[in-house]
Amino acid sequence: MSLVVVDASIMLDAFTAPKASEAFQRARQLLTEIQAGQVRAAAPEHFSIEVASGALKFQRRHRDQLSAKDVLGFLKAVDAFPINLCSIVVNADLVASWALAMNCGAYDAVYVQLARQLDAQVATSDRGMRAACLGFNVALWEPQ
């Protein structure tokens, strides 16, 4: 069984991407593998907040398609999902150092660093994070 650090971007794809898209299919595959116990999932503690922020932003842009109730239902499902939220000791200087070295955003650097600490793969749809993983020899999760 593989250990995968789940990025907020791939979780959001399960909610925001068109159902026929490759992004949606990848997200659903990952979630299916986690549910089936084929993959153990981890994420930094801020994962739920990052997912909530993205879902709320998406709902504000698409009020005609999604209600607040839809967003709250999705977020409740995310909170119930078997993802181990990990504490990672950080401070602004350390995160900035990682982000500068990895050439990515601060949140992305925390996911990559967590994967390095856990010797885990990263599941993401974010191009910047994918590049940071490749640059730091962190394996990327891909559907089987």
CATH code at position 114: 3.40.50.1010
- 140 found inside a domain: no
- Count structural domains, the chain: 1
pLDDT, position 104: 80
Instruction: Supply angle C-alpha 66, 70, 73, rounded to 5.
Output: 165
- 141 found inside a domain: no
Backbone angles phi, psi at 140, to 5 degrees: -100, 135
Across the chain, where does the E strand assignment appear? 2-6, 39-44, 83-86, 121-123
Question: Which residue segment(s) compose the domain that 37 sits in?
Answer: 2-135
Inter-residue contact 73 to 36 (CB < 8 Å): no
- 144 found inside a domain: no
pLDDT, position 14: 94
pLDDT, position 57: 95
pLDDT, position 135: 87
For each of the chain's 144 residues, which pLDDT tens digit applies?
Answer: 799 999 999 999 999 999 999 999 999 999 999 999 999 999 999 999 999 999 999 999 998 888 999 999 999 999 999 999 999 877 788 778 888 888 888 888 899 989 999 999 999 999 989 998 988 899 999 987
- 80 found inside a domain: yes
- 119 found inside a domain: yes
Inter-residue contact 138 to 116 (CB < 8 Å): yes
The model's pTM is: 0.91
For 1, the 3-state DSSP assignment is: coil
